[in-house]
């Protein structure tokens, strides 16, 4: 969540999903960078009653999907104790407009 003086409860900028089934884990990450947020107005994300936001609306300088992916991969690599990682911008699972 991102906190803001204008929004008492903050704004949701990302989602993390995890499921374990038959001994296999499935996981996913959603991080709002630059997208059409209008579909979010029709639901209550995670049942928390908070606004959804994106990086484009919070930063003075735009960032690309590849920049965010590389930055996030660096953080996760360090936190999970890995020594190396690779992010490919044209990977089919990296969705962009």
Catalytic positions are 46
In which residue are the tokens 């992916």 written?
A: 69
Burial class (CB in 10 A: 0-12, 13-18, 19+), 91: exposed
Sign of the C-alpha dihedral computed for residues 41, 46, 50 and 55 taken in this order: negative
Q: Which two tokens stand for residue 74?
A: 């660096």
């Amino acid at each position: 969540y991102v906190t803001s003086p204008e929004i008492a409860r903050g704004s949701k900028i990302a989602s993390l999903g995890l499921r374990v089934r038959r001994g296999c884990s499935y996981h996913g990450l959603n991080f709002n960078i630059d997208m059409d947020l209008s579909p979010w107005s029709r639901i209550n994300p995670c049942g928390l009653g908070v606004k959804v936001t994106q990086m484009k609306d919070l930063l003075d300088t735009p960032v690309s999907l590849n920049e965010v992916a590389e930055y996030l991969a660096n953080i996760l690599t360090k936190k999970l104790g890995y020594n190396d990682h690779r992010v490919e911008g044209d990977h089919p699972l990296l969705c962009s407009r």
